[in-house]
Structure 1
Amino acid sequence: MSGRWGLWALVVGLLAGCADRERASTADGRLTATPAGIDFQRVAVFDGREAQVTLRNVGRARITVDEVWVEGPDGTYLASFTHEGPHSLLPGSECGLKVRFAPLEPGALPATLVIHSDAKLEPILRIPLQGAGVDAWARVSPHKLDFGRIEADSSKTLGVRVENPTDMPVEVSTRLLGADQGEFAIEPVTLGPGETRELPLTFNPVKVGRKSVALAVTPCRGCADVPVHVAAEALDRAVVAEPTELDYGGVPIDKDKKLVSRIRNISTEPMQVTRLELEGRDVSFSHAINDFPLVLQPGEAREWELRYSPGHMGPAEDVAHYHVVSRRNPTTSVPLKGHGGAAELCISPVEHDFGARPLGSKTSIVVNVKNCGSANGGPLKISSMDFQPDPAGPSQFNHSPLPVPHTLGPGEEVNFKVFFEPTREGAATGALMLATNAFNAGVVRLDFKGLSERHAPCQLAVTPAALNFGTVPPRRGAILALKLQNVGTDLCPVKNIRLRDDGGGVFRMPGGELDGVVMYPNDWFAFQVAFNAPATGGSFLGTVQVEQGDPANPLVLVPLQAHSQEACLVPTPRFVDFGVARKDCPPAPRQVNYLNACSAPITVSDVRLGPGTTDVEFSLRSAPTPRPFTLQPGEAFSAEVEYFAQVSGMNVSPLFVDVGDLPQPLLVPLLGESSKRVEKTDTFVQQDGSKVDVLFVVDNTASMVEEQPRFVNALPDFVNTALTKNVDLRVAVTTTGIAPESNMCPGGADGGEAGRFFPVDGSRTRILNHRMPDLATRLQGNSQVGQCASVEQGFEAVRRALSEPLVSSADDPRTPMPNDGNAGFLRDEAALVVVFVGDEDDHSPDSVDTYVRFFQAKKGEFQPQRMTIYAIAPTGVACSTAGGEGTRYAEAATRTGGEVLSVCAPDYAPLLRNVANKAFSPQDRFPLSELPDPGSVSVRVNGTPATSGWSYEAATNTVVFSPSPSPGARVQISYRRACQ
């Protein structure tokens, strides 16, 4: 009732206002107030209630009300005029006031309304005020709301609890603040006495991310805001896959691989997953999962295995779909990919026991790593390779360098060494860890162990004490050797045998550095050191180092010395290899031929053997005497050396020739190996006949009147056979003449071609090939060499033709004839066929063995099948035009797998066709390097034993195939060596 009364009084006051009239000067006004007192009764704290007060002038004079105020609790009451003034009242007029009661605290709050006027008798009018404050405002809880993390496009509602503990109604209002307030919604409410309600705050995220928002709750009219902190985040998706993609990499066709697919609920709400299915792009992917439907609790993760079993080679793809009850993301998809065919690791050994080793030794084991995956399986990558630390101290194991990452294609392999270098007594272990991308081996552990023992200091003898290579022509090389022998009574470990100084790159160790050897008393071994003379020549020094197990003298240094310059004296061969011999049957002596290749005489002062590994093993059997002697231009001499083969192992000594124009002697290395082994294997690779260099050596003596025309007439058949077989052919002609005989001889050399190709004067093209038109006619022209010489030296002619300086020079510097060199004929990649044509046997100065070895060396010391000799010469069948028997030609042909055809035949065309067919076809005759014991010969072709299709021909010491092995076939002929 009091509230309604106050409102009515306010309306009346506003309508009436305050009058302002002339005031009588002799009368006084009197002011009254209605009501005389106000009881606001109970009002909620922070709420308010107003009442109207009417002031009336009941006197006889005008009254001016100056001001009004309330005396009482600060801030609780407020009094004010309802009219702006001036507040003058004529007798009988009224003026309105309003008083507002707004309690700031609970309890009785009395006060007095004071009205001041200019009345003379009663200027102050007091009106009592009464009211009680009531603690009537809503309690708000909680003060923080956390919506957690939910998917965008979803909805979540949390409640704000508001409670009215009083018996009065409370009006609660709300406001949202912050940049993201638009994604939240809440309504205000009025609480009745004692009522409790929850105000629903709804989060409807649209954008992904954390939200910036706060809720302000006003718990009553006029109350200060109560802040409620709101935390919320919107996610793009609630269920995520870990990892987001499954890449199986390469997997072999006959294998399968399983990977774990995990899904996680990253939201704070439970999420239902109904099923998992594969899209079905490739049947190579599969699963056997029956766990659905399921509910993922907040933060929960579940995982399953998905399998890839490649059903085909090459790439494969599919997609796994997890179906989720979600408006925004109804599926969580996981791409799957793999590759049929993979890199696979094969490694051996995976463990090794080095056994007991002396302190200071170095022992190695070779570890083989191979990518044994399928051809399209991709590369194998070794990403790291390290020994684990040894808790006992510095590691006693290490490995040879292998740059990582190291990649191996399918089928490729790599070897590296693991070393045991004991530095302290006792047992030692080491673990080498390899990290790879192999299908079956991500990390591989290789275990090694050993035991180290202490021994007496080494007593090592080095022979020779220094290596002197003498003189080696530029761009040539030579090999000598050092011998290490344990002359003590205890084990002697040596290691890290290597070049300490390679002389600027000219010295090297052909067998590679030696990691370590443990020698028993009186044991010895030898290793080779090579000198490669640079094109510029010069003098060079170097050093070989040997570390030995002797703390007082741990390092042995062996000096190296070499000189290089062009030399007039040309040795053939440039080294002599006696091969593997037996003590009970040393090899036959060998010859070295020395030719003066210059245009001036030279003086040879000595021929001698220098210091070697074992000086008693080689001997100079013969050499020209007396010495010194002079060698004219084009003259030659031979030195014969023998090897006794009495000291087991490799033996090397230098054969030196002291020449007046050289500061150091000319070197020809002598090599031999003595072995108790009687078994030997000769290995051949079948030629394909696609590239062949053919040299015809035609007898140009006077007796060739009948034979030369037959040979010339038969050449077209030879050429046609070659062209029919599509041979990449080079062909040249020289004569058996060495010394000039008569200016009646054609070609410009007076019958003394001495290995130069005919015609020496260049009147016709001297080196022919299969692309030239009229090849047969050109070859016929070059083969008409005349009949004016007197001595047949076919072997010597070929040796000179294929020797420096002729073989590599366009011009022979020793002769006045221009452009008479043989450069451009001999190709490294081509087979070499030499065909001798003559009516008398060869009369060259050196042995057949010397020449054959020289010819074979032109195509590789261990590839004799690439050089074949044929001859149209006298055989055992006598005829009127043949001068004796061609025994030297026959021996050379037999040793190289060729044949000798009778010079007595009336028509050479069938003979030359036969030569061409054999020379340009796969080889069917394989000469053995040594004589076998009868019945000991066995044959393997490409690693498979061959029990038929071949026979051993004792007369020629040759294995003959029928049919021939296919081109490229690897032929191994094993036998027990007979003592010759």
Structure 2
Amino acid sequence: MTLLAPQPFRPKSAQLLSGLMFCWVLLSSAACQEDGASVNCTANPEQCGIDVEAVPARLYVDPPFGLGFGCVLMGCDEAKILTLENRGGGQLAITSVRFKEGSSEDFSFALYNDEEDPADEALEHPTIEKPLKIKDSRTKALSVTYKPTDGIADEAVLIIDAHDASLPYQDSVLTTVEVPLRSRVLGSVAFVPSTDTINFGYVAPDETGQAILTLENTSENDAVLTLAALNLTDENDAFAFTFPENPHANPGDVIEVALSFTPSEYQDYEGQLTVATNDTAQPLIAVDLRGTAFSEPGIRITPSVGQGIDFGAVRFGETDVWELQLYNAGGAPLTVTPSISALGDTDPNVFHMGSTSGEALAEIAPLESTVLSVYATPAGGGAQEGVLQLETTDPNNPLITVTLAVFGNAPMAEYSIEDIDFGNVVMGWQSDVVEVTIGNTGTGDLTIFSYDFEIGSSPQIMLGSAPDLPVKISPDDDPISFAFFLNGQSLGPANATFLLQTDAIDYSTARLDLTGQVVSCIDGCPVANGTPSCEAGYCAIGSCAEGYHDTNVAFADGCECQEERNGDDIGGNCSDKRDLGNLGDDCSDHAHSVTVTGNLHDAEDTDLYYVKMEDAGSVICDTFGDSFRAKVELISAPPGLALCVNIRASGSGCGGYTDYYDPSYCGQNSYSSNGSWSSDDDKEVVAWVVWKPDATPICTNYQIKFRADD
């Protein structure tokens, strides 16, 4: 609303501004103070030194913020007063009072001279040519009436045009005031229909049946129920309605809707009436409409059972239900007697009903229905069959036969193993992956819903791979697999239980026990005559005990090769050779021969022997000389081992050997040196054994025979 601010009063003489009197202006009144006494300037302008004729007229509307109407029911007729006052000087000319475009037509107004007695004759509506004039400090009454015609909250705006009457309209400044009007609806409307189904029953073709639908206003506050619209959604013209003349109802009252049913053919009819109201909680409701032109009972079954009832797959021991709606489409009561039986090898308790087989159901009234519940509870896996028979009083369908079928879903889980023992796993190692497969040996799909390790299971036992869940396994599918391993992180036992949740009928929760032992490297990889190494992730020989060697580079037999002489290895040079001392011929006091045994424990090993051989003689032995011979012979040896010999003259000492295979000295099984009859043929023999370049060392003893002969 727009209100003009009051204009200041103008005193007759400017001298008064500096006198003992001081004036001020408020929105609703003007006052002066003279010698400490307050004077009402509106009532006594002359005492305040005000020239009334010089103060412009000013419109004030009271109440300034509009009107609210609380009587909002049908039949209400509430009037309220707006006071139009001239709070200026001179005369105020009101040239127009009108409703703003779009305002509700449920509001009206009238102008009167006296607001205290508005019953006097109403004034004509003002115009520019015939304005309504109000002298200074005088009022007129503007009576506003609200008569609701519906349940919708209403709004309006009154527009009042005014100007100072001392000037012609065309020369004046027009003041426009807008006053809002509102109806105050507290709370929302609520209603209840008399029924959600209207049954016209039997009506002969071309005749008409009547029915009434009532809508009761159940609001707990002053809210009017308004019927906004009706609509028929049937596909024929059998149903009709008459829109009520008064589509409104106060709380406790009703709106009546007249309905009719006129069948044109011998059939049953169904339709639907949509009702639209101002109830925000249920702005649209649907009322079913039924009628029939059949005089006799007629059965209709939904869903259709022409192809029988197939329950599909139902889990063993569980129950599924098929609900049949038996509808009487005729005009006379219908009686139905159901019975059920099993076929073939099917257990007689697989199929059953909510009612007793062979007993009649409650009579079904025309255009009404009842529900027959048929149940299937598989007694095992696989296909199971039965039959449902319905004896009726429908002359066109006295006996209805319905086949029944269900597939017993009875999956059974088969596990390749039920427990896993990882054995000993060296700390820091990961065991081999062990796979467990699960197959379905039952009927219907086996579903695995979830899996997890049981609380308290060792975190060292881990799941390597598993299928995404949920997963279904049919009896024809390949088994699915779960993979596990033990990750050794701390010494001691590692135990876990893996739980599988399935829908197997034998047991829904499967437990797989997994065990293992995390051991040290020494316990997990024992080495004969040595110490193991596990850093590479597998058992290896870290070192051999003194005097032992891993000749065949195989972990299985450990350090299998002990050096000759119980670990006192024969060296490959003169400083740690084996000195065999002296041998001699038949005339010598020394032994004639010696046989030695040894082994080469790796490819770099060399055994060196040194022996002196004496060619002796005397007056009684070899008087006329001898044919002395120094001989070295390889008696036995593993493949690839070579004998090397250097027979040197007496006094040469230890030397003339190599630490590798030299064909000049190596490769023969026997070496000898023959002496002469006429000389002393003492010899010094240096013999050594090595591996040939392409040989694979093995821990097998060799034998060498040293001999001095005549």
Higher Rg: 2
TM-score, structure 2 as length reference: 0.30
Greater percentage in helix: 1
